[in-house]
């Protein structure tokens, strides 16, 4: 059947199955802020773990850091965020809404949603003005000029200001990287499209420091490496592309920038950015702090490294995975909604189900299996309702496998394994379920959806 995914369907499923809720909902909500339910937390943990595994644990040339959210204000002066981290803002005096002047074609008129701002006679738009996207706060008891600080709009600067510490303590030399996962905050003028553009998000960034003459090679390397990561975890090739920024799009210091884009229901949009930032960041922080930030080799070699930066938010990945996995089909004359998530991204790896929830013997066997598996895997026990309804619940949260304890289990200690994607079933010994699951998780996986 044709691709039936819409953003509304993803939002509905996320709400219905407890992935994501609007934040502060009992008070009427707060625009583009979200809270994560149980399955959303589990899925975010998996995304975070897979990224950290690929970027740090499985490599010898990248180390981790966790920097503060509130940094010295001069950090943001040196980085250019105080002066230049702005969007052009337009107000409508009629509907009282605010819009990005460069994104009016993506915005809806406050009075006539089918129109764009400025397209109706009622629209009364102001002239564009620059609006800084950083959230401002104060440090200390008094709100005075010297106490002004900012919530970080990106995690990268916390890496750059620790370059010297890591270089000395971690005993690394270029090429090497520093990776960080953490919250960032941007006071977006027009956030929206569910998790695609929010004011509070969790970034995963890595700054890879290289000799200047190797920057182009490593820039291309990280584009390929990150693209292959998405393929490995199930995103379809037809929904992925790499778009190189033209000179007019790039930051003034950028030596090259590319976006890995995904085809969301709202169109092609940035999933992850990879940039060759040159030596701008280390040079700026060295100037503003009067601290030398350079690599000095044992042979006297001395240079300021160039930086290659892959940067992405967990939210963008999560939305892409949910969209790519979402499927609807008719099985046995009944419609089934299923999330065909990669097994290592699914919030629940396996469900343990007694066929008859009121059977003490089946429940005892199922609970024993559940208690054994939960020590190593994210598994869920469910004995509520008809077995078909329980299968459907697990399908909607993307659980790859279900192990069902039934009458035959009581006779020969075997259980039924049901596969989420193919619906195929097989019987295996209950004592071998743990090994079966370990092996299944290591198998190559590709989305069964048409590419």
> Omega before 175 cis (within 30°)?
yes
In angstroms, the Cα distances linking 136 to 70, 71, 388 are 10, 12, 52
What pLDDT score was predicted for residue 125?
86
What pLDDT score was predicted for residue 270?
94
Strand, coil or helix: 233: coil
What pLDDT score was predicted for residue 100?
74
Q: Are 307 and 222 in contact (CB under 8 A)?
A: no
CATH architecture of 348-442: 3-Layer(aba) Sandwich (3.40)
Q: Of the candidates 258, 255, 259, which has an alpha carbon nearest to the alpha carbon of residue 278?
A: 255
Q: Are 401 and 440 in contact (CB under 8 A)?
A: yes
Residue of 384 and 84 predicted with greater confidence: 384
Q: Are 35 and 21 in contact (CB under 8 A)?
A: yes
Residue of 176 and 188 predicted with greater confidence: 176
Residue 166 has φ and ψ, to the nearest 5°, of: -65, -40
Which whole number is the average pLDDT over 265-280?
A: 94
What pLDDT score was predicted for residue 30?
83
Q: Are 391 and 332 in contact (CB under 8 A)?
A: no
Tokens at 361, concatenated: 């013997």
Q: Are 276 and 166 in contact (CB under 8 A)?
A: no
Residue 416, pLDDT above cutoff 60: yes
**Percentage of the residues of the chain whose pLDDT score is greater than 90:** 69
Residue 224 burial (10 A CB sphere; 0-12, 13-18, 19+) = exposed
What pLDDT score was predicted for residue 90?
84
Average pLDDT of every residue of the chain: 91
What pLDDT score was predicted for residue 1?
42
Residue of 132 and 370 predicted with greater confidence: 370
- Cα angle, residue 289 at apex, residues 311 and 218 outer, rounded to 5°: 30
pLDDT level of residue 105 (50, 70, 90 thresholds): confident
- Interatomic CA distance for residues 141 and 405, integer angstroms: 61
7-76+143-322: CATH topology is BirA Bifunctional Protein; domain 2 (3.30.930)
**For 239-342, where are the alpha helices, taking DSSP H only?**
280-289, 314-325
Question: Highest mean pLDDT range out of 72-86, 125-139, 294-308?
Answer: 294-308
Residue 102, pLDDT above cutoff 80: no
Q: What is the pTM of this model?
A: 0.89
Residue 226, pLDDT above cutoff 50: yes
What pLDDT score was predicted for residue 119?
87
Residue 89, pLDDT above cutoff 90: no
Lowest mean pLDDT, pick from 2-11, 161-170, 321-330, 370-379: 2-11
């Amino acid at each position: 059947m044709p691709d039936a995914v819409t953003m509304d369907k993803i939002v509905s499923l996320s709400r219905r199955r407890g992935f994501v809720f609007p934040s502060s909902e009992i008070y009427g909500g707060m625009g583009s802020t979200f809270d994560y339910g149980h399955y959303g937390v589990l899925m975010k943990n998996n995304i975070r773990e897979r990224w950290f595994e690929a970027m740090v644990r499985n490599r010898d040339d990248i180390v981790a850091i966790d920097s503060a959210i509130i940094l010295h204000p001069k950090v943001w002066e040196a980085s250019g965020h105080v002066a230049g981290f702005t969007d052009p803002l337009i107000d409508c005096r009629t509907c009282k809404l605010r819009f990005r002047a460069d994104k009016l074609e993506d915005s809806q008129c406050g009075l006539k949603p089918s129109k764009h701002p400025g397209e109706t006679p009622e629209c009364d738009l102001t002239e564009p003005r620059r609006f800084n996207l950083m959230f401002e706060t104060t440090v200390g008891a008094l709100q005075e000029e010297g106490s002004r600080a900012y919530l970080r709009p990106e995690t990268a600067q916390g890496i750059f200001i620790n370059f010297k510490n890591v270089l000395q303590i971690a005993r690394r030399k270029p090429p090497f990287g520093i990776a960080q996962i953490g919250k960032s905050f941007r006071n977006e003028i027009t956030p929206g499209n569910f998790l695609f553009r929010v004011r509070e998000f969790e970034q995963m960034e890595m700054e890879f420091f290289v000799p200047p003459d190797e920057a182009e090679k490593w820039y291309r390397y990280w584009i390929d490496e990150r693209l292959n990561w998405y393929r490995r975890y199930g995103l379809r090739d037809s929904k992925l592309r790499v778009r190189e920024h033209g000179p007019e799009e790039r930051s003034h210091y950028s030596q090259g920038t590319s976006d890995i884009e995904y085809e969301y229901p709202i169109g092609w949009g940035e999933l992850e950015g990879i940039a060759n930032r040159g030596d701008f960041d280390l040079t700026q922080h060295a100037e503003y702090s009067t601290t030398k930030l350079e690599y000095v080799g044992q042979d006297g070699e001395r240079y300021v490294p160039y930086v290659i930066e892959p940067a992405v938010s967990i939210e963008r990945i999560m939305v892409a995975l949910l969209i790519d996995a979402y499927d609807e089909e008719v099985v046995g004359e009944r419609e089934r909604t299923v999330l065909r998530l990669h097994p290592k991204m699914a919030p629940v790896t396996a469900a343990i189900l007694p066929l008859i929830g009121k059977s003490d013997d089946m429940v005892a066997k199922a609970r024993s299996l559940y208690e054994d598996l939960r020590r190593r895997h994210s598994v869920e026990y469910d004995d509520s309702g008809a077995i078909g309804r329980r299968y459907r619940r697990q399908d909607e949260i993307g659980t790859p496998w279900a192990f069902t304890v039934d009458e035959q289990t009581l006779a020969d200690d075997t259980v039924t394994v049901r596969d989420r994607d193919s619906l195929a079933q097989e019987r295996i010994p209950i004592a071998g379920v743990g090994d079966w699951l370990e092996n299944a998780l290591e198998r190559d996986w590709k989305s069964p959806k048409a590419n």
